[in-house]
Structure 1
Amino acid sequence: MDAAANAAETGRLLRLATYASVATACLLILAKLIAWLMTGSVSVLASLVDSTMDAGASLVNLLAVRWSLAPPDAEHRFGHGKAQALAALAQAAFIAGSAGFLALEAMDRLLHPRPIAEIGVGVTVIGFAIVVTLGLLAVQRHVIRRTGSPAIRADALHYATDLATNTATLVALGITALGWDGADPLFGLAIGAYIFYSAVRIALEAIQLLMDHELPEPQRQRIAELVRAIPGVLGMHDLRTRQSGQSQIIQFHLELDGQLPLNEAHRIGKAAEAAIQTAYPDSDIIIHQDPIAG
């Protein structure tokens, strides 16, 4: 698959994941709203608030991914890939806000207990939410394997948190059905704490991307191996890398025999570039050729 076809396929997969995420969040909001109105459960409310935050975060993600896929222009010569990291950071803010709201609601329910009605409805709706979320996660993980998108990875972590939230909600409703009303707000607090932990994880990953963190060391070593395997290459140094959306930005100095003709030095440089792009099709490569005295 050539670079243009690969970019088109990547764009298709990213759009698929973002549209599926928004549609799933909206469907779950409707189902959980009905369940909360019928049960009054704090755990169901926790799940509803989380899905509401999901919808906002997924919409931000959709817009950011569309922006990140825009080609480079005169003011953004390296493209718009960092929009995905910004989207992940926005998601972290959404998630942290929902965690704070849940903590306040759960504390109020602990101080002012109220019985839960229609527990069976709540169990049915949350069970439905788990099935739908599992389907979305399967789509997202496929897209992550194919694209490595930080925005979709953050969204998948978001929905994996939802899966844990919904499971905990089922347990809380089950325990409440057995007669312990205090389980509902306590599980609400636990869910809120886990959601906040997830927000911190997403934020830290997004910040690393925005701060131009180096690619993982195994990738850097692989790049060096590919370059040094090119006939005529004497070595390389000053390898600098970073991730920008789907693109890996790779820069390094290529050590060549100082007596080589310019055409031959250029050919070796292009061979090194081609080797890297075969392994990393979305890479943006800058090579500085350094002559080495014989």
Structure 2
Amino acid sequence: MSIEPREPTTSQETARLLRLATGASVITACLLILVKIVAWGMTGSITVLASLMDSTMDAMASLLTLFAVRWSLKPADAEHRFGHGKAQALAALGQSAFIAGSALFLGLHAIDRFLHPRPLTEIGIGVGVIAFAILVTLALLALQRHVIRRTGSPAIRADALHYATDLATNSATLVALGLASLGWSGVDPILGLAIGLYILWSAVRIGRDAIEMLMDRELPDDARRQILELVRAIPEVRGAHGLRTRQSGQSLIIQLHLELDDALELRQAHQIALAVEARIRERYPDSDILIHQDPVSLGCE
């Protein structure tokens, strides 16, 4: 699991970008399913079928992401005091299951086609359809990466990862169709099987990151060091310890102890803690920060 500082974004802008990305993902997947059904029916290519299956799983996963993201945007309530952000991790975990299922289905069909080969037809149509799919997927990925940069959403990050695998699938499909037009149709099931293995590997990556978030894994060491550097940059801070971090959706949960001069009044200590909180939030805008103030003489007790 990784976390990067992102561009400052208001909660309203974050919600708008997430809704835009999830809606565009569903529309793109449905459009690609339609054109690939036509291409597979006309070519009979197992790699076109691979691309069709990948887009079908994309559509199901994108629908799951759409509903999960909308759920995660609900504000915190009495039963969910830390909000609903982990719905995005659940969506990413569901995506990994869908993608793994498509990889296994594809592998079985590739093996069957290898054992029972048949010639491909209407290769030119297949090439045109897959080229169109590549262009549409590139446009979607550009939008998703913009949204990830602004929101840090793990659900959109997982969605983008499986569309990146779709891009690789389509590229391999073009290669297979091109070789088939030269009489090398036996390459088709081999590439189909290779694509299946790549898709399965991507599913493992998505599932691993989702599980780490659900298990409240600490942020990477670099991110933790950055947070401590921000804290210690405040002149009145004598030290910091007990840093605990986790991610919930695109929000970060940060808890730490400040070491302050023993002689400070409570009001002064409170103001310093507010300054530390503001400094952290400048770097990580969508964060939930809890700070406890300790007298420096107590050290790390």
The TM-score range, normalised by the shorter chain, is over 0.9
Tell me what 1:189 maps to: 193
Q: 1:177 aligns with which of 168, 172, 181?
A: 181
Deviations 1:90-143 (A, max 9, x none): 110000000000011111111111111111111110010000000000000111
What is the alpha-carbon distance in structure 2 between the residues aligned to residue 23 and residue 92 of structure 1? 20
The structure, 1 or 2, with the larger RCO (C-alpha pairs under 8 Å, 6+ apart) is 2
Tell me what 1:157 maps to: 161
Deviation of residue 287 (structure 1)? 0.7
What is the alpha-carbon distance in structure 1 between the residues aligned to residue 250 and residue 113 of structure 2? 45
Q: Which amino acid aligns with 1:107?
A: I
Q: 1:212 aligns with which of 209, 212, 216?
A: 216
What is the alpha-carbon distance in structure 2 between the residues aligned to residue 291 and residue 214 of structure 1? 26
Q: 2:257 aligns with which of 230, 253, 274?
A: 253
Deviations 1:195-241 (A, max 9, x none): 00111111111111111111222221121112112232111101001
Q: 2:41 aligns with which of 34, 37, 42?
A: 37
What is the alpha-carbon distance in structure 2 between the residues aligned to residue 54 and residue 286 of structure 1? 38
> TM-score, normalization: structure 2?
0.94
RMSD: 1.3
Q: 1:55 aligns with which of 49, 59, 62?
A: 59
Q: 1:131 aligns with which of 124, 128, 135?
A: 135
Runs of 4 or more off by more than 4 Å in structure 1?
none
* Percent identity between the two aligned chains: 72
Tell me what 2:4 maps to: none
Q: 1:226 aligns with which of 209, 214, 230?
A: 230
Tell me what 2:247 maps to: 243
Tell me if the contact between 2:9 and 2:285 (Cα under 8 Å) persists in the aligned partners: no
What is the alpha-carbon distance in structure 1 between the residues aligned to residue 135 and residue 287 of structure 2? 37
1:19 aligns with 2:31: no
1:248 aligns to what SS in structure 2? strand
What is the alpha-carbon distance in structure 2 between the residues aligned to residue 243 and residue 5 of structure 1? 17
Tell me what 1:287 maps to: 291
Tell me what 1:87 maps to: 91
Q: 2:107 aligns with which of 95, 103, 107?
A: 103
Deviations 1:134-175 (A, max 9, x none): 000000011111111111111111011001000000000111
Q: Which has the higher mean CA deviation after the structures are superposed, 231-240 or 4-13?
A: 4-13
The number of residues matched between the two structures is 291
Q: Which amino acid aligns with 1:29?
A: I
Q: Which has the higher mean CA deviation after the structures are superposed, 213-222 or 109-118?
A: 213-222
2:138 aligns to what SS in structure 1? helix
Change (3 A) 1:5 1:279: closer
Give the gaps of 5 or more residues in structure 2: 1-7
Give the gaps of 5 or more residues in structure 1: none
Deviation of residue 25 (structure 1)? 0.2
Q: 1:200 aligns with which of 162, 180, 204?
A: 204
Change (3 A) 1:200 1:85: same
> TM-score, normalization: structure 1?
0.96
